[in-house]
Structure 1
């Protein structure tokens, strides 16, 4: 039976993979957390990957504190960039294939149509720059790698925008939310299903592992303001949500004003059926409220 190593299983995506893996009978899983594996320690990371005959490495770990990264560049680079060199090199040594999750922040957000995988990257934050460096390091170290760029990730696990807006909506009568940043929310469970689907199709020889960069987010487009209004509508929260501009909510790291991703490639190559963002949001909120 094939063996899969999931690095960073305590985060949103890793937690969803842990939840789903019991229904995946094509492989045995090993899950690491920040406590059990320090990805900034190259020796420990190499030893973990090469300790068993893994066929697939799924890397879910990332430094995602976007604003904090501006003043914590060294650690962000270690996790988002340097660790990918080690993961790629170590996986290559044992013949393992890698699936790594990246971000829409590799783009500057000035586009007027959905970004494709071949569009020019131009990150304008430390977070985006280190994630892009990690992409390049992985592809250089291991040709058998898939990079999945995603956006606006949320789930029932950890800290995320959906859970924050649910809490604030109940606590406050008014909220100011940015309306001039547009993107596509992504339910982490949908992304986890796609990752497992890619592996399953490779194991069963239905579709061989097609290395490269792919974009994945839920279908549809909205602003953070629209996203918040919909979260509250689904959760039956009465809160006066007011639209504001990005300039009225300054942050240490600049955000992309437009980060919609074109998913045509992954749909074509892997025959992926992508859910609409509002449908997935309803599913997530239902799980949170259970």
Structure 2
């Protein structure tokens, strides 16, 4: 039985990976959080790997606060770049294949076409730059890797756009949501399932994009969330074409997923259908 290490087990993707792992019994999956596998601590990482061997490592840990990264530059780089470099070096030494989760924010958002894996990167914020540097370190140090870029992740777990809208909608807060950015909301449960399918099929190493199908603005996303929340019909939703954020965001960062769909023989579900399915489950919970 092949052994799989998952970092960032307490994050939303880590928790979705834990759920998805129940359907892939051919793997022994070990979930770790930063108390055991801290990307900001090379010593802690090396110590853990010195006592354990894995066939695969799914790196779901990251510094993800886009605005805070603008001032917390060192920590963002320590985790997303230097920590990933150390992880790649350890995986090389241990013969471990690395599956690393990256982001649409490695692009500048100026393309009118959906981004393919070979498009030029040009991050416009510190978070995106730190994630890109992590990608570059992996490509430099480790041949046996998959870099999996995704976008606008949400799930039933943790702090994300879906749960923020549900929370403030329930409180009756006026929701002013931007129309300035276009991307694809991606259900982290779909991403987790694809990651395990990648372990099963082991396609050619390299960079892949996965997101749900379609594109929308954050306002469109919020509107769809409320449309699938019967209890929030009275929520106040308003458009704004100027929502100030500390960090710049790509104006359009839609990812083309044809490469991974062909490699894994899967079809990415549309973002509206995937959202509806998740919210149906949330709405029927006691």
Aligned-pair Cα RMSD in Å: 1.2
Q: How does 1:72-83 map to 2 (within 5 A)?
A: 72-83=72-83
Task: Give 1:173 deviation, angstroms.
Answer: 5.7
Give distance in 2, aligned partners of 1:122 and 1:200.
32
> Match of 2:205?
211
> Match of 1:160?
160
> Match of 2:229?
235
SS state at 1:20 partner:
helix
- Say if 2:258 is the partner of 1:269: no
Give distance in 2, aligned partners of 1:23 and 1:118.
32
> Match of 2:201?
201
> Match of 1:285?
279
> Match of 1:186?
186
Structure 1 unaligned spans of 5+: 203-208
SS state at 1:242 partner:
strand
Alignment size in residue pairs: 282
Contact 2:36–2:44 under 8 Å retained in 1: no
Contact 1:5–1:49 under 8 Å retained in 2: no
Deviation beyond 3 Å, 4+ runs, structure 1: none
Give distance in 2, aligned partners of 1:173 and 1:132.
36
Contact 1:45–1:87 under 8 Å retained in 2: yes
Q: How does 1:26-105 map to 2 (within 5 A)?
A: 26-105=26-105
Task: Give 1:184 deviation, angstroms.
Answer: 0.4
Task: Give 1:268 deviation, angstroms.
Answer: 1.7
Contact 2:187–2:274 under 8 Å retained in 1: yes
Mean Cα displacement is larger for which, 182-191 or 263-272?
A: 263-272
Structure 2 unaligned spans of 5+: none
Mean Cα displacement is larger for which, 50-59 or 9-18?
A: 50-59
> How high is the TM-score relative to the length of structure 1?
0.94
